[in-house]
């Protein structure tokens, strides 16, 4: 009896051992190192020779115009990409929530952008946005939206909108699927009751659909926000933060400071600040998830 109790206590430890080891070595330990590094002055990647300087990196950081620039870029990119992703997701979810022939196939087409590797999505867009031969410049000029082809990725005020458009195209399927699931949870009776009370389609949308999606909305928007803070692959592959730092989010600033400018301690300070912001949003996220659970 005693041995069986012992065994059942040790079994979960055995089963969880490999995960624990991997998460500690590859995620937790580096994060702790990163936080520790933010208090050191060191430029070399083998950072053992660094000098402890307390909060000096953070002091310098908060006076650094490039830091505030990427803070601003992160905020604009976050708000714009979350809004665009959500709007596309909701619009397409409403379209696909109707009954029609071939809905499964069309839904798959709408999910496809999510399946493409991020790097490939970037390459296709760079090609489509090519200043001389890009198909988007052609379509836009043909439609009369722009008067001549634009160099999207080499002009500061065009690169960020292009990046937001790419993000929205690639990420909306996630929003769409979650919203579609949310829409299907709204009882049909509510729509019928609203119709009997004389509500038109617009009124039904604002008084039945949107309130019905409330708990899903909170979680989705927070999830998209967290993702926009952490996103590196897409931005790095598309612009590396340029031109003139116009697309340099905090994530990209962290990476560039470390690997382009070799300022390791300083990069760690940027990363630690980013981590704090993420932690704040995560706490809100968990709290919102918990609230949603309790409400049900």
Among 33, 59, 156, 203, binds other proteins (CB under 8 A): 33
Among 61, 84, 180, 224, binds other proteins (CB under 8 A): 180
Looking at residues 77 to 96 of the shown chain, list those that interact with other proteins (rule: CB under 8 A).
91-92, 95-96
Looking at residues 56 to 75 of the shown chain, list those that interact with other proteins (rule: CB under 8 A).
none
50 close to 37: Cβ distance less than 8 angstroms:
yes
Site string for other proteins, 11-30 (x = CB under 8 A): xxxxxx-xxx-xx-xxxxxx
Told to check if 279 binds other proteins by CB under 8 A, we report: yes
The count of residues interacting with other proteins (CB under 8 A) is 101
**Phi and psi (nearest 5°) for 52?**
-70, 125
Q: How far is the CB of 134 from other proteins (least distance, A)?
A: 8
284 close to 225: Cβ distance less than 8 angstroms:
no
Among 87, 145, 146, 185, binds other proteins (CB under 8 A): 185
End-to-end CA distance of the chain: 41
Tell me how far apart the alpha carbons of residues 160 and 72 are, in angstroms, rounded to a whole number.
12
170 close to 113: Cβ distance less than 8 angstroms:
yes
Looking at residues 252 to 271 of the shown chain, list those that interact with other proteins (rule: CB under 8 A).
252, 254-255, 258-259, 264, 267-268, 271
Q: How far is the CB of 218 from other proteins (least distance, A)?
A: 10
Closest CA to 119 of 111, 127, 130: 127
User: Of 49-57, 74-82, 172-180, 188-196, which segment contacts other proteins by CB under 8 A?
Assistant: 172-180
Q: Which is nearer to other proteins, 68 or 127 (CB)?
A: 127
Q: How far is the CB of 154 from other proteins (least distance, A)?
A: 13
For residue 288, CA distances in Å to 45, 221, 223, 239, 292 come to: 39, 11, 11, 34, 6
Looking at residues 120 to 159 of the shown chain, list those that interact with other proteins (rule: CB under 8 A).
120-128, 130, 132-135, 138, 142
Looking at residues 187 to 246 of the shown chain, list those that interact with other proteins (rule: CB under 8 A).
215-216, 219-220, 226, 229-230, 232-233, 236-237
* Burial profile 254-280: b = 16 or more Cβ within 10 angstroms, e = fewer: bbbbbeeeebbbbbbbbbbbbbeebee
Q: How far is the CB of 85 from other proteins (least distance, A)?
A: 13
Closest CA to 245 of 131, 156, 125, 126: 156
Peptide bond into 243 cis (omega under 30): yes
183 close to 97: Cβ distance less than 8 angstroms:
yes
Among 72, 87, 108, 197, binds other proteins (CB under 8 A): 108
Q: How far is the CB of 25 from other proteins (least distance, A)?
A: 7
Among 1, 2, 49, 100, binds other proteins (CB under 8 A): 100
Name the token pair of 80.
């714009």
């Amino acid at each position: 009896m005693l041995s069986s109790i012992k065994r059942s206590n040790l079994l979960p430890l055995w089963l969880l051992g490999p995960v624990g080891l991997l998460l500690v070595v590859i995620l937790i330990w580096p994060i702790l190192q990163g936080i520790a590094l933010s208090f050191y002055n060191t430029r070399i990647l083998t950072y053992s020779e660094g000098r402890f300087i307390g909060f000096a990196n953070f002091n310098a950081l908060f006076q650094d115009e490039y830091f505030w620039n990427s803070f601003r870029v992160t905020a604009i990119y976050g708000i714009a990409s979350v809004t665009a992703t959500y709007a596309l997701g909701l619009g397409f979810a409403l379209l696909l929530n109707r009954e029609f022939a071939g809905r499964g196939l069309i839904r798959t087409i709408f999910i496809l952008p999510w399946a493409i590797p991020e790097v490939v999505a970037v390459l296709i867009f760079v090609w489509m946005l090519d200043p001389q031969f890009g198909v988007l410049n052609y379509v836009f000029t043909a439609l009369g939206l722009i008067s001549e082809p634009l160099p999207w990725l080499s002009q500061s005020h065009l690169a960020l909108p292009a990046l937001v458009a790419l993000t929205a195209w690639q990420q909306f399927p996630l929003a769409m699927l979650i919203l579609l699931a949310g829409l299907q949870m709204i009882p049909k009776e509510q729509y019928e009751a609203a119709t009997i009370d004389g509500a038109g389609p617009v009124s039904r949308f604002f008084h039945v659909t949107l309130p019905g999606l409330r708990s899903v909305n909170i979680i989705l928007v927070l999830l998209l926000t967290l993702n926009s803070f952490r996103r590196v692959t897409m931005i790095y592959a598309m612009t590396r933060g340029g031109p003139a730092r116009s697309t340099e989010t905090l994530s990209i600033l962290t990476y560039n400071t470390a690997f382009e400018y070799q300022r390791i301690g300083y990069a760690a300070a940027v990363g630690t600040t980013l981590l704090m912001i993420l932690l704040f949003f995560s706490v809100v996220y968990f709290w919102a998830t918990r609230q949603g659970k309790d409400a049900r």
